[in-house]
Amino acid sequence: MPAPFRKGKIVRITLRSAGVGLGVGLLLAVLAGSVAGQGDSALLRAFSRFLGTQDIQFDLVPDLYDGGYARISIFAKNANLGGMLVDEVWFKLVGITLDVRALEQDRIKILEYRGTAFHGRVSVQRLQEFFLASNAFKDIRLWSDGTSLFGEGTVPYHGLPIKIWLKGRFSVKGSKEINFHVDNMRINGFPLFSAIIRLMESQINPVMSQKDWPVNFPIRSLQMTPEGFILSSQADALAPCTICWLDGTTSKP
């Protein structure tokens, strides 16, 4: 089966007034996989490397030049976004031109794009793993009431474990970063001074940063839920997701 018609891939051709001969020529070129889209395996490898997961699917609308795509839609599970694992995440890039040479080296280098969007879900379990990986805690158990995040655990202090309790929340910084702010923290039952709290925050923030990403996705909303939190390019993270799709087989991701 030709590459453009593999499962989960869409090819759209728009012919305005190019004439029958040119139209047939373009159609045959796409069917033969000689236009954008023939490097899809490299594209998959590059995004898998960037997101740190093999559990990834994508849906493509190639453009009529090498490295060009009218749209790239990506769905990934267990993706690593700047050190934090995300249970599920959707990306959408519109009018994108990729550096073909970089793609051949499994790297993503974006030369041009018209728009980006994303939507992600992070569970409490993933947040626990992130906090433990920061080495700020020896062990910790987290839970959410849908508004704030709570935690109980221990922190090492001069080789001794100290009991800790905290209440905090996440916030978006400048539409590109996510930080965690501690509203209240107690050690062995005693409240901590704000200076110590800010020091502990500095060890884990930013929770997510797009500083080293090949392209930035605007973060316009973040909403806590009892299961974790949702972050999105939409104005309302809890609204129906307009770019989400399940398995890469839908025609309008």
Q: Which two tokens stand for residue 46?
A: 């590059």
Question: Does some domain include residue 225?
Answer: no
Q: Which two tokens stand for residue 51?
A: 């997101």
Rounded Cα distance, 116 and 218, in Å: 7
Question: Does some domain include residue 193?
Answer: no
Question: Does some domain include residue 186?
Answer: no
Question: Does some domain include residue 104?
Answer: yes
Domain count along the chain: 1
Question: Does some domain include residue 103?
Answer: yes
- In the three-class reduction of DSSP (H, G, I as helix; E, B as strand; rest coil), residue 135 is classed as coil
Question: Does some domain include residue 117?
Answer: yes
Mean pLDDT of the chain: 81
In degrees and rounded to multiples of 5, residue 34 shows phi and psi of -95, -5
CA-wise closest residue to 234 among 218, 216, 213? 218
pLDDT digits (tens, 9 = 90+) for 11-38: 333 333 334 344 433 333 333 333 333 3
> What letter would DSSP give residue 114?
S
What local confidence, expressed as pLDDT, does residue 173 receive?
A: 82
Count of other CB atoms within 10 angstroms of residue 71: 19
110-112 and 115-123 beta bridge pairing: unpaired
Q: Which domain holds residue 60?
A: 3-121
pLDDT digits (tens, 9 = 90+) for 115-172: 999 999 999 999 998 888 876 678 889 999 999 999 999 887 777 888 989 999 998 8
Distances from the Cα of 217 to the Cαs of 88, 119, 133, 213, 221, in angstroms? 16, 9, 25, 9, 12
Question: Does some domain include residue 33?
Answer: yes
Question: Does some domain include residue 55?
Answer: yes
Q: Which residue has the higher pLDDT, 239 or 204?
A: 239
What local confidence, expressed as pLDDT, does residue 246 receive?
A: 60
